[in-house]
Amino acid sequence: MAAPEAWRARSCWFCEVAAATTMEATSREAAPAKSSASGPSAPPALFELCGRAVSAHMGVLESGVWGPILQSILPLLNIYYLERIEETALKKGLSTQAIWRRLWDELMKTRPSGLESVTCWRAKFMEAFFSHVLRGTIDVSSDKRLCDQRFSPLLHSSRHVRQLTICNMLQGATELVAEPNRRVLETLASSLHTLKFRHLLFSDVAAQQSLRQLLHQLIHHGVVNQVSLYSWPVPESALFILILTMSAGFWQPGPGGPPCRLCGEASRGRAPSRDESSLLLGSRRPRRDAAERCAAA
């Protein structure tokens, strides 16, 4: 008897949500609407209204939504709930790959390279989304599928980032080492494997200090194992030396040794001088092999 009672309870709840949503939509439609050349748009279907209401409460429902209903609701979810419900959808035999591919086509508006084989559109979308938000090349408020005050775009997508490209005047480096993004940087340190620099231009001292701290966290305390330089015909000497020095591998003190010097400098709020970076390359036990460095004109 427990199953029928639970079924009736969920059915009643769904009907109540549908009724409330329909009333809300009706009240909105009763208000004066802006005229348009194409005439008034048709009111949304009842199922779509119900889907919107359920998707707004996915944080509570998620695993409790039946498979057939969830299948119809998935396309209505924003990217944050769609990403979070992936495991639940898989358990119910549902795939979100087609939805992520459509989101890529509609929002990223670029086609993957013909040589690229995409195995997971969710990971590809979230990684590209992270880079666009970091550089400010996408406005999350411009599309309801990207905007949700309950989620941080950078933090939510950072765990999918395996490769990150820093361009021009080191855009993004200062933002990533800022205190509000501390958790974002911590997540990147455990997910990012490849760091690329492309089309670098002249950068000021503050930007280079931010880059030093970023490389320190991602390489010395992270899992980055490849650093690449592309399209930099005339490298800026100070910046070039900084990248090579910080990417050359970290010599971790042995048990009972002194704490990480750069971490100590960062905690005291003082950036290390250019000469201090050489102290990282002493006769200490290596934490791992030196990072790979590639340069291409």
pLDDT for 179 equals 94
Give the Cα separation of 153 and 156 in Å (integer): 5
Maximum distance among all Cα pairs of the chain, rounded to whole angstroms: 76
Angle between helical axes of 46-56 and 2-30 (0-180°, round to 10) = 110
pLDDT for 172 equals 92
**Mean pLDDT throughout 114-120?**
81
- Using the CB atoms, write b or e for 266-286: b if 16+ within 10 Å: beeeebbeeeebeebeeeeee
Given a cut of 80, is residue 49 above it in pLDDT?
no
Give the Cα separation of 186 and 243 in Å (integer): 20
Contacts made by residues 104-108, CB under 8 angstroms, sequence distance 24+: 104/128, 107/138, 107/143, 107/145, 107/146, 108/132
22 burial level (CB within 10 Å; 0-12, 13-18, 19+):
middle
Contacts of 178 (CB under 8 A, 6+ apart): none
Given a cut of 50, is residue 156 above it in pLDDT?
yes
Given a cut of 60, is residue 240 above it in pLDDT?
yes
**147 or 294, which is more confident?**
147
**263 or 152, which is more confident?**
152
Query: Binning pLDDT at 50, 70 and 90, where does residue 253 land?
Result: low
**Mean pLDDT throughout 115-135?**
92
Going from the C-alpha of 129 to that of each of 85, 166, 272, the distances in angstroms are 18, 14, 33
Given a cut of 50, is residue 258 above it in pLDDT?
yes
- Average pLDDT across the chain, whole number: 76
Highest mean pLDDT out of 66-80, 113-127, 151-165, 207-221: 151-165
pLDDT for 139 equals 93
Q: Do β-strands 226-230 and 292-296 pair in parallel, antiparallel, or remain unpaired?
A: parallel
Query: Binning pLDDT at 50, 70 and 90, where does residue 233 land?
Result: confident
**275 or 249, which is more confident?**
249
Given a cut of 80, is residue 48 above it in pLDDT?
no
Going from the C-alpha of 155 to that of each of 92, 151, 246, the distances in angstroms are 27, 8, 25
Given a cut of 60, is residue 286 above it in pLDDT?
no
Distance of CA 89 to the CA centre of its chain: 21
Contacts of 16 (CB under 8 A, 6+ apart): none
**Mean pLDDT throughout 37-46?**
58
Contacts made by residues 13-16, CB under 8 angstroms, sequence distance 24+: 14/50, 14/54
Tens digit of each residue's pLDDT (9 = 90 or more) over 166-218: 999 898 999 999 999 999 999 999 999 999 999 998 888 999 999 999 999 99
Given a cut of 70, is residue 31 above it in pLDDT?
no
Tens digit of each residue's pLDDT (9 = 90 or more) over 60-95: 666 677 788 888 889 988 999 899 889 889 988 999
pLDDT for 160 equals 97
87 burial level (CB within 10 Å; 0-12, 13-18, 19+):
exposed
Q: Do β-strands 163-168 and 292-296 pair in parallel, antiparallel, or remain unpaired?
A: unpaired
Least confident of 70-79, 113-122, 185-194, 277-286: 277-286
**Mean pLDDT throughout 100-124?**
87
Domain locations along the chain: 162-297
pLDDT for 257 equals 60
Residue 246: left (phi > 0), alpha (psi -120 to 50), or beta? alpha
